[in-house]
Chains A and B, each alone.
Chain A
Amino acid sequence: DQQVKQNSPSLSVQEGRISILNCDYTNSMFDYFLWYKKYPAEGPTFLISISSIKDKNEDGRFTVFLNKSAKHLSLHIVPSQPGDSAVYFCAAYSGGGADGLTFGKGTHLIIQP
């Protein structure tokens, strides 16, 4: 049972445009959400997070939106740059559950010049 779902395995966006990566979750106990970025042969790098008490968090070109009623979050990158090409993982944490994060399968973002 996949509790965190990223339904788009890949996404292609033109440089300078907005990239929107989506993530859905099923466990209503999740109360903290994170996005990680991963280049090939490297470990994931933390990008941005959001607590369930908020609906938006912004950090430079990256904004995460959380819609608790829909159990949906999205990562917006604007403007998209070539260095943003990577695999993006959505992850979630439940304060009352296991200590680890639950990850989605990832979305491969490709920024086209």
Chain B
Amino acid sequence: NAGVMQNPRHLVRRRGQEARLRCSPVKGHSHVYWYRQLPEEGLKFMVYLQKENIIDESGMPKERFSAEFPKEGPSILRIQQVVRGDSAAYFCASSPDRNSYGYTFGSGTRLTVV
């Protein structure tokens, strides 16, 4: 009964490189959310996806960030040309439907940009 699986747990990238963060939702969950937590801050909503569709990306930075949730495989959060300010913990959560707000979070990916 695996929960939300995120990998890698820790990711170090040099400025200008690309970061790919993966999230496998709870089995049977088709709704995925990505959140970012900067140091000393709360979690900030980034994007909400269902299988093959982006439903709400109002929290995503307009440039360099993209997300997908393909029919097969995990959801991917992609950050191109990373900068130091992208260093944060990125959490993925999943739910069985749109109205289940107490969703299940993964343990996060800690991205460090050097």
A-side interface residues toward B, CB under 8 Å?
4, 6, 32, 34, 36, 41-46, 49, 89, 91, 93, 98-106
Sorting the interface of chain B by its residue count into under 10, 10 to 19, 20 to 34 or 35 or more gives 20 to 34
Chain B 80-105 interface mask (CB, 8 Å, partner A; 1/0): 00000000000101000010011111
Q: Do A101 and B45 touch across chains, with their CB atoms under 8 A apart?
A: yes
7 contacts between A and B (CB under 8 A): A6-B42, A42-B107, A43-B106, A44-B105, A93-B101, A100-B33, A101-B101
**B43 CB–A CB distance under 8 Å:** yes
Q: Within the assembled complex, what's the spacing in Å between the Cα atoms of A91 and B98? A: 16
Determine whether the beta carbon of A32 is less than 8 Å from that of B45: no
Question: Nearest chain A CB to B63's CB is how many angstroms away?
Answer: 19
Asked if B114 is an interface residue, CB under 8 A from chain A, the answer is no
Q: Any chain A CB within 8 A of the CB of B69?
A: no
Q: How many A-B residue pairs have CB under 8 A?
A: 62
Is the CB–CB distance between B43 and A103 below 8 Å? yes
- Whether, in the assembled complex, B1 has its beta carbon less than 8 Å from a beta carbon of chain A, the answer is no
Alpha-carbon distance A76/B44, docked complex (angstroms) = 25
User: A103 to chain B: closest CB distance in Å?
Assistant: 4
Given contacts A6-B42, A99-B48, 20 further A-B contacts (CB under 8 A): A32-B101, A34-B101, A41-B107, A43-B6, A43-B93, A45-B105, A46-B102, A46-B103, A49-B101, A93-B101, A99-B98, A100-B35, A100-B46, A100-B56, A100-B59, A102-B45, A103-B35, A103-B44, A105-B40, A105-B41
- Which B residues are CB-close (under 8 A) to A42? 107-108
Chain B interface (Cβ < 8 Å from any Cβ of A): 4, 6, 33, 35, 40-46, 48, 55-56, 58-59, 91, 93, 98, 101-108
Given the interface pairs A43-B4, A44-B91, the reply to whether A98 lies near B107 with Cβ below 8 Å is no
* A43–B42 CB distance below 8 A: no
A98 touches B45 (CB 8 A): yes
Q: Is the CB of A44 within 8 A of B101?
A: no
